[in-house]
Structure 1
Amino acid sequence: MNKDKRRIILERLRAENPHPQTELNYHNPFELLVAVTLSAQATDVSVNKATDKLFPVANTPAAIVALGVEGLKEYIKTIGLYNNKAINVVALSQILLDKYNGEVPENREALESLPGVGRKTANVVLNTAFGWPTIAVDTHIFRVSNRTKFAPGKDVVEVENRLLKVVPAEFKVDVHHWLILHGRYTCIARKPRCGSCIIEDLCEYSPPKIK
């Protein structure tokens, strides 16, 4: 896909949604960090249902540590992998208290050193909480980037690097949200909704031929 076509795609996505936001509910960087950590292999809807009850009770590292692993499990037990997630969230909360004065560090290396926080989670926090031009590649963005040929790659790191290379600076802060929403609601996994897609005429997807 050439750069002119990419720019038109980005301009259309921006026109449709000028100020895209994450669908996770949060009010501060720590809530976002917890929500993103809980969202691994889970839907934003399921995470929001849990955190809408959790955060009014515990939305700081100190409060989460006070709640403890077993206490936290009671709030997040409807989320997949909740046992390990509870352990990680309490552990990262303790580290934030011990090393960062209870604040979420605006630093990739520091974020990725926290239990349960990988590159994707760090990218989301840096982008959404701090406005960094990072691009977190999840399954939706990986699918859209490859299917449309916008930024193809064999794995999430390759797709991330390609996106960082081909997306102009003016779009970098928001492109993560545009692509994830496009993949979640239009360019869905099983059968993309091409007829209602605003970039269908620019997409280079070749649907499999029916034998």
Structure 2
Amino acid sequence: MAPLTLRIVLDTLRKCHTPPKTFLHFRTPLDLLVATILSAQCTDSRVNMVTRDILYPKYKKASDYLAVPRRELERDVHSCGTYRNKAKYIQGMCGMLIDQHHGEVPRTMEELTELPGVGRKTASVILSAVFGIHEGIAVDTHVFRVARRLGLTRGNTPEKVEQDLMHGAPKKEWGEVTTLLISHGRSVCTARNRTCDRCPFQNSCPSSWVSRKKDLGKPVARASKKQKPR
């Protein structure tokens, strides 16, 4: 049987899922930038609760995040985990936005990844969801797992998985690659107890042919647990 291609996967998943541009709620580019920083090692539902109930009513612009003591911001984001680092990143990022970008969120990968706490994945989310600019594919744990299980990549790092996926779809579809694979990873191809009998790829997915004890979605080597900008 011929291996799955990203084109086949996207065409099929469009019939099964209708995901939003991003799973994080936001009103402004700054909102999404803050929410994406908070989402590191935290669920989107938790981040959405914190931003809705605490952050968005209180902080309207970059200068608002700098107007409070660090400890106050740490308390506000405490439930998102690693709150000290996240508060530090948010205030550092807001300071740079004011100093170098007139308080506005920049629109290039290079400028975004210069901000504290912002890596390539976060920048890809911002550019795609807010500005409709596609310079990369955001590879989170769901995208990484599903892409490897479906045989779309053998990459062992998010960077290699991203490169393989970018070669498989036109640039205008890169944002959709992320949201469709995330939707499938959350609802069907879950990290534990995946439901292959509900999967439209069950007859062509290489992971459906192997023992569940041998998960093709997992990297060969363990990644460092040290938090890095995403």
TM over 0.5, shorter chain: yes
% identity of equivalent residues: 38
Mapping 1:187-198, distance limit 5 Å: 187-198=189-200
Secondary structure of 1:144's counterpart equals helix
Shift of 1:48: 1.1
Shift of 1:37: 0.5
Shift of 1:84: 0.9
Deviation sequence 1:95-128 (CA, Å, 0-9, x none): 1011101110001111111111111111111111
Q: Does 1:208 align with 2:215?
A: no
Contact 1:69 1:87 in 2 (8 A): yes
Mapping 1:53-202, distance limit 5 Å: 53-133=54-134, 134-169=136-171, 171-202=173-204
Deviation sequence 1:158-190 (CA, Å, 0-9, x none): 100000001244532311111112112211112
Mapping 1:4-23, distance limit 5 Å: 5-18=5-18, 20-23=20-23
Distance in 1 between residues matched to 2:61 and 2:212, nearest whole Å:
52
**Greater than 4 Å deviation, 4+ residue runs:** 1-5
Shift of 1:194: 1.0
Contact 1:20 1:178 in 2 (8 A): no
Shift of 1:137: 0.7
More relative contact order, 1 or 2 (CA 8 Å, 6+ apart): 2
Contact 1:24 1:47 in 2 (8 A): yes
Contact 2:3 2:151 in 1 (8 A): no
TM-score (norm 2): 0.84
RMSD: 2.0
Contact 2:25 2:48 in 1 (8 A): yes
Q: Can you give the 5+ residue segments of structure 2 that lack an aligned partner in the other structure?
A: 214-230
Amino acid at match of 1:43: T
Shift of 1:2: 5.9
Contact 1:149 1:204 in 2 (8 A): yes
The alignment covers a number of residue pairs equal to 210
Amino acid at match of 1:40: A
Secondary structure of 1:78's counterpart equals helix
Distance in 1 between residues matched to 2:88 and 2:127, nearest whole Å:
23
* Range 138-147 or range 126-135, more displaced: 126-135
Deviation sequence 1:141-168 (CA, Å, 0-9, x none): 1111111102231111110000000124
Amino acid at match of 1:208: S
Shift of 1:13: 1.2
